[in-house]
A = this chain, B = another copy of it.
């Protein structure tokens, strides 16, 4: 008998009607002969409602009390889904994070899973029960306090349970039906991938493809859990996120993504002395500003330009801060530009194929798209470009790399 972990997000359980539909999907899986554990999020809108309540009391709320309030959203969902399954004649039982021994650290509102003891899950499965588990929440054993994993944590809950219980697969049901080679709203002929490696999925997740939460993919990779991304609303094949294999390497580029929530800051004529970059980026980190790409130009006459990207929401704060820093380190000027976007190509095949980055630059140049910054990893190449070219860039890169396929010489 195989064990399947299924996960349904907030929109999938957004109403009583939808909860009944989820119950049907779960029941079908059970009927097929599988042992089943289901993880669910709070009903759509509920988490926001709860966050607003505590914010109304204090916008700078205490994370422990935040967790106490917000974790109730999932608790309601599991009770309702278990009830829906029981009403259909299935033996189901709901569990909160503490009941299944979902042990986390004590970092309230963004806790990390340490381990899952899972006794009650094992017992309930042995009795033939369908287990319905609250996503997003755990318990910090040193205090007995309820913790939450941070937004999107239900994906992570599901994958962690699959790892701990040695499930055959973790199925994540979402409002898309899989992982595509590009955003289908931009690229009409984007294709759904049958399979993708954890590494590629991580790059795609952090690059703005909102299918799976990054931490859940990291968890899957660490414990070798096969993750299947499927549609909540239609029954059709999805995308399997799994270990890299020979097949995947044949495909050089698995996906093309873009991220418009980026802004660029350039500090000009920075005195080129050891420790100066550290000084700048430590100061930004101290103010909780996340820096993504960093480019430092070659130094001329003891001066250098340093450019980097931040999230658009951080731009104002980062700009002000950099002006102060520039004064202190005697740089000449600070330029800010929010009309930029990052386009990226991702693929494990890039590791074994030379010339992929060059081909990307050439493709953009042929379409008169100027490249402002470049950043690369083993399986990814990203370029910062003028925002107005975003869709064009994604389309031409998708045409060149995904449709033409393996023609890199």
Contacts and interface: CB of A to CB of B under 8 A. Distances in A.
Interface of A: 16, 19-20, 50, 53-54, 56-58, 61-62, 64-69, 71-72, 75-76, 78-80, 82-84, 86-87, 93-94, 96, 98-99, 120, 144-146
A72 B83 contact: no
A237 B72 CA distance: 37
- In order of increasing CB-CB distance, the 7 nearest A-B pairs are A68-B79, A69-B79, A72-B72, A58-B87, A65-B83, A65-B79, A16-B56
A79 B54 contact: yes
Contacts of A69: 75-76, 79-80, 83
Contacts of A86: 58, 62, 65
Nearest to A53: B80
12 contacts: A16-B53, A19-B57, A54-B83, A57-B84, A57-B87, A62-B82, A62-B83, A65-B79, A68-B78, A68-B96, A71-B75, A75-B75
A53 B15 CA distance: 9
Integer count of this chain's copies in the complex: 2
B76 A72 contact: yes
A86 B66 CA distance: 12
Contacts of A75: 68-69, 71-72, 75
A86 B60 CA distance: 11
Q: Which of A57, A76, A146 has the most CB of B within 10 A?
A: A57
A65 B53 contact: no
A69 B73 CA distance: 9
Nearest to A101: B144
Contacts of A65: 79-80, 82-83, 86, 94
Nearest to A43: B53
A20 B99 contact: no
Nearest to A99: B144
A57 B98 contact: no
A148 to B, nearest CB: 12
Contacts of A99: 144-145
A1 to B, nearest CB: 25
Point out which of A57, A61, A79, A94 has the most chain B C-beta atoms below 10 A from its C-beta.
A79
A83 B57 contact: yes
A66 B19 CA distance: 16
B94 A68 contact: yes
Contacts of A19: 57
Contacts of A54: 79-80, 83
Q: A65, A72, A86: which has the most chain B beta carbons within 10 Å? A: A65
A82 B69 CA distance: 10
A331 to B, nearest CB: 41
B58 A79 contact: no
A56 B94 CA distance: 18
Contacts of A61: 83
A16 B54 CA distance: 9
Which of A80, A94, A146 is the most central at the interface, judged by chain B CB atoms within 10 Å of its CB? A80
